[in-house]
Amino acid sequence: MPKRTRTTQKLDTVQNARRVFMEATETTELTIVQQVMREMGAKGGKIGGKRRLETMTDEQRRRSARKAAKARWSKAKKTA
């Protein structure tokens, strides 16, 4: 995120809104290291679920599925 600069002049409401908008929509280029780390993180997330599924026993999968279903249904009951 770019460093904020202090302005010596007072901005009116419209000028200040424009300044905030320009700062918020400013795009920054990712460095090569950031791009590589982003790709590695995305790849690991895709692999993780499959590998976990392969290493879990049937009983562990059943327990995990029941726990997930219970969590989903408990949320539905609270909001209704």
pLDDT in tens, 5-61: 765 677 789 988 988 888 888 877 888 888 888 888 887 777 777 888 889 999 999
Q: What is the mean pLDDT of residues 55-76?
A: 91
User: Whole-model pTM above 0.85?
Assistant: no
Which CA distances in Å does 11 have to 3, 19, 36? 19, 9, 41
Distance CA 30, CA 36 (A): 10
Domain ranges of the chain: 13-79
User: Which residues are within 8 A (CB) of 56 and not within 5 positions of it... i.e. 6 or more apart?
Assistant: 64
d(CA 67, CA 19): 48
Characterise 58 by phi-psi region: left (phi > 0), alpha (psi -120 to 50), beta (else): alpha
Position with higher pLDDT, 67 vs 51: 67
Residue 77 pLDDT level (bands cut at 50, 70, 90)? low
